[in-house]
Structure 1
Amino acid sequence: MSPPFTSSLIAETARELGIELFLEPKFGYAGRVTYPSGSRRFFHLATMDCNGAAAARIASDKDYTSFFLKSLGYSVPEGEAFFSDQWCLINNTSNNLSAALDYATTIGYPVIVKPNARAQGNGVSLVEDRNFLEQALGELFYDNNIVLVQKVIHGRDYRAIVYKDSAPIFYERTPLSVVGDGNKTVRELLEAKLSHLKKGGRGVKIVPNDTRISNCLTRNYGLDLDSRPRSGQLLRLLDNANLSAGGDAVDLSTEVHQSLRNTAIQIARDAGLTFAGIDIMTKESVTGPISQYTVLEVNDHPGLEHYSAIGKDARNRVKALYRLIIEDME
């Protein structure tokens, strides 16, 4: 079994720098680097030993992250956290499933519903009515104690990968999609797309039978997985644009305006993070100054496997970034 992307890249970089690397042999998920000075640092998948524990913990909690960023004047999605029945009892709150349904009616449909503490787009759905929301919440509360209901934000979805004050990696994300050929079914097109991504080194975490895909097809196109879309018809199959869920990336690292680079660096700094992924949505062109944007989420351990797979330049940027992090961690 070959090590995961991050472990392999760190091993490659450590060899070039003459730094000793000890990798857990069973899965290769975790490792330790030992510097010539004798100091040691650790990593686990995309989590590097460079962020403070408390700041990283806050960043892993979407509700807390929005709360603290909003207190500093940042625009964040309008939303509220709701809790499983067990969590309501423990924390003496009435923000349960029923309250979430009432809240969604107050802010208006459609709404975004998502787990509070999961990454990679897991469990994120757009729902358009009370019945679908009740179903989505019931499924999420099965294995999540805290779920967010948020007002939909419109715009284009971008991610900035920030490390200290270095120039961020910056790319646009678009949701998993297929293009009809007039012959194949949606299921066949999707299976071919996922196979292509896997061959390109992207182990996406999505399957054709994901109910979010069926809901998206029905809601947006009146189709299902067995439908045969017309030739050239673009079908977006998910509401979230996470690359780990099969989304596509357009690299804008050399094109994004310097003011937005500075903004991303400042958001990471205000979140208390040295290394971070900053998710931003805006309707404006990012090649020039922007006046309005929303901070969707902050990630304290941004994965770069999927971005790296889009081309040689992207992989070189990722390797240079990890080299800088490894050099600085001593």
Structure 2
Amino acid sequence: MPLVTSIIKKIAPQIGAIVVIEPEYELVGHITFKNGKKVFFTRSKFNINGLGSSEIAKDKGYSKFFLKHFGYRVTEGETFFNDKICEKVGDSRNIDAGFEYAKSLGFPVFIKPINLSQGKLVAKIHNKTQYYQIAKKIFKISPGLIVERFHPGKDYRIVVIDNEIIAVYQRLPLSITGDGKSNILELIQYKQRVFFDNFGKKVIDLDDLRIKQKLQKQKLNWESIVPNGKIIYLLDNANLSNGGEGIDFTESIHPDFKKLAFNIAKDMGLRLIGLDIITSDITRPMTDYVIIEVNSAPGLDYYASLGDAQAQKVEDLYLKVLKALEVGCNGEN
């Protein structure tokens, strides 16, 4: 059973709520509270955030515009569209214009779909060939992409609900560690089995073009033997849902970053928020940061897998979500 579903089934009786789960996939459910209020949920999406705010957060281009309007530091970037959209709205920002913009920023750059989650097809691009390979894949499943300046630093996520910090963790990209005798393919397959045992689903896509590009950049291939203890990174984006790993900083986040997360949640009209930022050190006063994106339905499956303490924090978060839904969200009763 998916993590969120299992947590809801476990904690709902604590507040006298009744939960009905769709039995085939167990991804969606209906909750009836003691006071008669009824709500649906799907995966990690609940009615705690307003529809308008959630839709803005989902669209990376729109959310970046408003974050910049509010005075926050965002990654410098522009949005580009597939030929169908360009023709429909009379816009010249097509795939080729995106490449010219990437050149103007200077490689490497990041490109990402405008409306997909979990780090899908987010890639660090070093040259023209890589750009067109990834951009064409993005346009097959998304109407647009964003080209962004690359910012060095550490990738963190801050999860907030109603002016309370729930979780803070550094996200590390998918990697393998050599043992001196196994090749890269064998090490990936082993890690894939570990992920499947923990989460019950495939996490690493062996056909992912980004992994191939990353290996080529390091002059490696599937048959390369990795020296004992050597870490090889297979992706550049640090999403845990792509096989990345996390380090918990919930207890050591500096108050400056807490305030930043609270203010962004308030300005974006979101009660529950996952704020992704790049900074040199989240435990020190805030002198440098840049916002990657804002997520209105942050998935926490992989954070919960870090240990018992983290799993309890995730459970506590969803109990807070249920209590908020029971009394009414965004002015609803």
User: What TM-score range do you get, normalising by the shorter chain?
Assistant: over 0.9
Q: Report if aligned partners of 2:178, 2:227 keep a CA contact under 8 Å in 1.
A: yes
Deviation at 1:65, TM superposition (A): 0.7
1:235-274, Cα deviation, whole Å (9 max, x unpaired) = 0110100000000001111111122112112111111111
Contact 1:168/1:261 (8 A) holds in 2: no
The corresponding residue for 1:98 is 96
Contact (CA 8 Å) 2:158, 2:165: kept in 1 or not? no
Letter in 1 for 2:116: R
String of CA shifts for 1:111-136, please: whole Å, max 9, x gaps: 11111100001011111111221222
User: Any conservation in 1 of the 2:111–2:148 contact (CA below 8 Å)?
Assistant: yes
Check if 1:251 corresponds to 2:248: yes
The SS at the match of 1:169 is strand
Partner residue in 2 for 1:195: 193
Q: Name the SS for the 1:178 alignment partner.
A: strand
Q: Check the 8 A contact 1:202/1:306 in 2, yes or no.
A: no
Structure 1 residue 154, shift from structure 2 partner = 0.8
Question: Is 2:290 the partner of 1:294?
Answer: yes
Counterpart contact for 1:125–1:212, Cα < 8 Å: yes
Q: Distance in 1 between matches of 2:189 and 2:59?
A: 33
* 1:30 and 2:28 matched: yes
CA distance in 1, matches of 2:126, 2:283: 33
Q: Give secondary structure in 2 for the equivalent of 1:172.
A: strand
- Following the alignment from structure 1 to structure 2, what is the Cα–Cα distance between the partners of residues 90 and 254? 50
TM alignment of 1:297-308, pairs within 5 A: 297-308=293-304
Counterpart for residue 231 of structure 2: 234
Between Structure 1 and Structure 2, how many residues are aligned?
A: 326
Alignment map for 1:71-90 (pairs within 5 Å):
71-90=69-88
1:82 partner SS: strand
Pairwise mapping of residues 1-330 of structure 1 onto structure 2 (< 5 A)? 3-201=1-199, 203=201, 205-219=203-217, 221-283=218-280, 285-330=281-326
After TM superposition, the runs of 4+ consecutive aligned structure 1 residues lying more than 4 A away are none
Q: Percent identity?
A: 34
- SS of the equivalent of 1:167 reads strand
Q: Which amino acid aligns with 1:240?
A: N
In structure 1, how many angstroms separate the alpha carbons of the residues matched to 2:155 and 2:3? 24
**Are 2:108 and 2:126, in contact at CA under 8 Å, matched by a contact in 1?**
yes
Give the distance between the partners of 1:229 and 1:123, measured in 2 at CA: 26
* 1:62-118 Cα deviation digits (max 9, x unpaired): 011111000111111111110000010111101001111111111111111111100
Distance 2:178 2:230 in 1: 5
Q: Matched residues in 1 for 2:294 and 2:44: separation?
A: 14
- 2:266 counterpart letter in structure 1: R
Cα distance in 1, alignment partners of residues 322 and 8 from structure 2: 8
**TM-score, with normalisation over the residues of structure 1?**
0.96
TM-score (norm 2): 0.95
Cα offset, 1:206, TM superposition: 2.4
> Partners of 2:153 and 2:256 in 1: how far apart?
19
Would the aligned equivalents of 1:204 and 1:245 in 2 still touch at CA under 8 Å?
A: no
Q: 2 CA distance for matches of 1:205 and 1:67? A: 32
Task: Give distance in 1, aligned partners of 2:115 and 2:90.
Answer: 20
CA 202–244 in structure 1, closer or farther in 2 if over 3 Å, else same: farther
The code of the aligned residue for 2:302 comes to H
The answer to whether the 8 A contact 2:76-2:148 is kept is yes
In structure 2, stretches of 5+ residues that fail to align are 327-333
Measured against aligned partners, the alpha-carbon deviations of 1:288-330 in whole angstroms (never above 9, x if no partner) come to 2112101101111111111101110000000111111101111
Structure 1 spans left out of the alignment, 5+ residues: none
RMSD over aligned Cα atoms? 1.2
Which residue number corresponds to residue 330 of structure 2? Answer: none
Deviation at residue 204 of structure 1 after TM alignment? 5.1
- 1-side partners of 2:161 and 2:222: how far apart? 41
Q: Given that residues 175 and 246 in structure 1 are in contact (C-alpha distance below 8 angstroms), is that contact kept between their aligned partners in structure 2?
A: yes
Counterparts of 1:195 and 1:153, CA distance in 2: 33
